[in-house]
A and B are shown apart, each in its own frame.
Chain A
């Protein structure tokens, strides 16, 4: 009992020192808590469905940020990874009878391949050229999907897949836990040395190259990592919807991902995730006014961007937290002095 008490007290101290000091951390903590314990309160099937889809798209939006936000390689064809992941998982499941826990990671790997296939030719392109070229890839793949209906099912897609799990509740836990886990991994990646190099490539590619870093390798790494996570979300989508169709490759899909990410704030990982959790349920909520649903959605995006061009979450974070001018540690906005170096916060 004694040892347990010590550990508990230690965890509590850690919790108070690391989580409770910053409102943003409290929000993230609550976010985890609410998502994990929501089914205890309600098991409404419709609500769970919305949250499952939200989680799947949160992975997708975060993976876009990992590539385009961090390395600045504007990808306007993110639907490619999503579609490749979905189709691969679907085909493997249908023909090779691989269960979802196998087919989804394999879908992710296929998306890595796709990432390399488009990453290599795109190495020489930059900025807007890159953005608009990547936009073309999912459309070309869609042409191929329509050209070989024997395999892909054409516009019908591949249907009749196995379920993700036996019940909606399990589906919920699988996707939510995966989402939380994968997004944490992505966040950790961006916080690591690799992430710093990604960031540096965005800021000044020439300088990175002069420092003796193989930029090509890191760019391709970013393409494959992002492809992997996006592919996983595609696989999850295919198994949850039980259909992988050409709609996963549509231009609007690619655009939506970018909208989510920019709306939430790029180069943050948590921004896109938060944005999906705001925008996707919001779109469902707007079913109240079915005629004006998409219009309201577009107007919300326009207005938010007008006042918070860096994205909504960084804006909120800047309101509730201040960075210490001396030691760059973040503090609650209400504090007068820094919590670490006691320098006055203005």
Chain B
């Protein structure tokens, strides 16, 4: 039983981590709460569906194409709708919601509301201590770790990473030091959307593709990011696993209440925030008035 919880929790957690890291990145660097983050994940899933089913492209190629395409879409959306109004926090929030709605509707018009699916990259399953795990889930787990390592390397070892980190710390000073703040924001946006698309590519093969699939992960992603501390990548990672384990425990301990797993996970988030209002690894933004 405990083994089942640990394994299911690890797998679920890594899916959430993939999404949360991208969201955290753009919030940290540009203070943009991008509620359309998971909508990009949905669009990526549809791209893969279209490429594999309608064009007959190999899944791996489809994945790459989808990631590139969605990243471009993300950058265009950012330039058109978010960049001009970045100073107005509330307006940015609403603009991202409207963007997500628009993407949902466009997909609904093109592909209708039917449930679709994309093929797995690797089929079959592995048995660990009697628990069956699909290879696709293992892949997700591995990819999540890799991505985290990659993002960490990018942030700590490259000049772009330095720029992102310094903008995250103090936008105005970074600007004064000669960093092109809006370009940094744009690069970060690209990376963030790319991560969302990547998450779509590895997660979606096990579930369904439909235009409303962005809503549920959005809530979870937000909960994780808040739980871990806004803008903190470490926090997002740890938060994702905490909620993953919570969900798994609910399913195993009270099978009749499996539908409550979302509610319980959100309650855990609120409890954590009551004790630490800035999340687990967040910095208190006392200075930012």
Q: Which residues of A contact B (CB under 8 A)?
A: 74, 121, 124-129, 131-133, 135-137, 139-140, 142-144, 146-147, 204, 206, 251-252, 255, 258-259, 262-263, 266, 291-292, 294-295, 297-299, 301-302, 305-306, 309-310
Q: A129-B277, A294-B105, A306-B85 are in contact. Are A143 and B260 (CB under 8 A)?
A: yes
**Contact check: which of A126, A302, A310 meets B95 at CB < 8 Å?**
A302
Q: Is the CB of A125 within 8 A of B273?
A: yes
Q: Is the CB of B102 within 8 A of A132?
A: no
Q: Is the CB of B93 within 8 A of A133?
A: no
User: Can you add 6 more A-B contacts, CB < 8 Å, to A124-B277, A128-B27?
Assistant: A131-B93, A135-B219, A143-B260, A262-B90, A294-B105, A306-B80
- Ordered by A's residue number, 16 sampled pairs between the chains whose C-beta atoms are within 8 Å are A121-B273, A127-B288, A129-B277, A129-B278, A133-B270, A136-B267, A136-B269, A139-B262, A147-B260, A294-B101, A295-B102, A295-B109, A297-B101, A298-B101, A298-B102, A309-B88
Complex Cα gap A131–B106 (Å): 28
**Contact check: which of A127, A139, A309 meets B285 at CB < 8 Å?**
A127
Complex Cα gap A126–B223 (Å): 15
Q: How far is the CB of A38 from chain B (nearest CB, A)?
A: 30
Q: Is the CB of A140 within 8 A of B263?
A: yes
- B101 cross-chain contacts in A, Cβ below 8 A: 294-295, 297-298
Complex Cα gap A139–B262 (Å): 8
Asked if B98 lies at the interface with its beta carbon under 8 angstroms from chain A, I say yes
- A125 cross-chain contacts in B, Cβ below 8 A: 273, 277
- B85 cross-chain contacts in A, Cβ below 8 A: 305-306, 309
- A206 cross-chain contacts in B, Cβ below 8 A: 289
Q: How far is the CB of A283 from chain B (nearest CB, A)?
A: 12
Q: Is the CB of B215 within 8 A of A136?
A: no
Asked if B244 lies at the interface with its beta carbon under 8 angstroms from chain A, I say no
In the complex, chain B residues 240-289 whose Cβ is within 8 Å of any chain A Cβ: 257, 259-260, 262-264, 266-267, 269-270, 273-274, 277-279, 282, 285, 288-289
Complex Cα gap A136–B224 (Å): 11
For the complex of A and B, the 7 pairs showing the least CB-CB separation, nearest first, are A143-B263, A295-B105, A298-B102, A309-B88, A136-B266, A309-B91, A298-B101
Q: Is the CB of B93 within 8 A of A258?
A: yes
- Which of B260, B267, B270 is most buried by chain A, counting CB atoms within 10 A of its CB? B270
Q: How far is the CB of B281 from chain A (nearest CB, A)?
A: 13
Q: Is the CB of A133 within 8 A of B226?
A: yes
- B97 cross-chain contacts in A, Cβ below 8 A: 255, 258-259
Q: Is the CB of B98 within 8 A of A132?
A: no
Complex Cα gap A255–B36 (Å): 13
Complex Cα gap A292–B267 (Å): 37
Contact code string B4-41 (vs A, CB < 8 Å = 1, else 0) = 00000000000000000000000100000100000000
Complex Cα gap A146–B259 (Å): 9
In the complex, chain B residues 96-140 whose Cβ is within 8 Å of any chain A Cβ: 97-99, 101-102, 104-106, 108-109
Q: Is the CB of A302 within 8 A of B99?
A: yes
Q: A259-B94, A295-B102 are in contact. Are A310 and B273 (CB under 8 A)?
A: no
Complex Cα gap A86–B51 (Å): 46
**Contact check: which of B91, B219, B267, B288 meets A305 at CB < 8 Å?**
B91
Asked if B230 lies at the interface with its beta carbon under 8 angstroms from chain A, I say yes
Complex Cα gap A295–B105 (Å): 5
Contact code string B54-87 (vs A, CB < 8 Å = 1, else 0) = 0000000000000000000000000011001101
Total interface residues on B, using CB and 8 Å? Answer: 49
Q: A129-B277, A135-B222, A139-B266 are in contact. Are A295 and B91 (CB under 8 A)?
A: no
Asked if B195 lies at the interface with its beta carbon under 8 angstroms from chain A, I say no
Complex Cα gap A295–B273 (Å): 36
In the complex, chain B residues 173-218 whose Cβ is within 8 Å of any chain A Cβ: 215
Q: Is the CB of A204 within 8 A of B274?
A: no
Q: Is the CB of B84 within 8 A of A251?
A: no
Complex Cα gap A127–B95 (Å): 18
Q: Which residues of B contact A (CB under 8 A)?
A: 27, 33, 80-81, 84-85, 87-88, 90-91, 93-95, 97-99, 101-102, 104-106, 108-109, 215, 219, 222-223, 225-226, 230, 257, 259-260, 262-264, 266-267, 269-270, 273-274, 277-279, 282, 285, 288-289
Q: How far is the CB of A292 from chain B (nearest CB, A)?
A: 7
- B105 cross-chain contacts in A, Cβ below 8 A: 292, 294-295, 298
Q: Is the CB of B219 within 8 A of A262?
A: no
Q: Is the CB of B88 within 8 A of A292?
A: no
Complex Cα gap A74–B93 (Å): 11
- Which of B95, B257, B285 is most buried by chain A, counting CB atoms within 10 A of its CB? B95
Q: A127-B285, A128-B230 are in contact. Are A310 and B266 (CB under 8 A)?
A: no
Complex Cα gap A126–B288 (Å): 11
Q: Is the CB of B94 within 8 A of A301?
A: yes
Complex Cα gap A297–B98 (Å): 8
Q: Is the CB of A140 within 8 A of B91?
A: no
- B33 cross-chain contacts in A, Cβ below 8 A: 128, 131
Complex Cα gap A136–B230 (Å): 16
Complex Cα gap A177–B285 (Å): 44
**Contact check: which of B109, B215, B264, B277 meets A251 at CB < 8 Å?**
B215
Smallest CB gap from B97: residue in A: A255
**Contact check: which of A132, A142, A292 meets B222 at CB < 8 Å?**
A132
Complex Cα gap A218–B245 (Å): 38
Smallest CB gap from B279: residue in A: A129
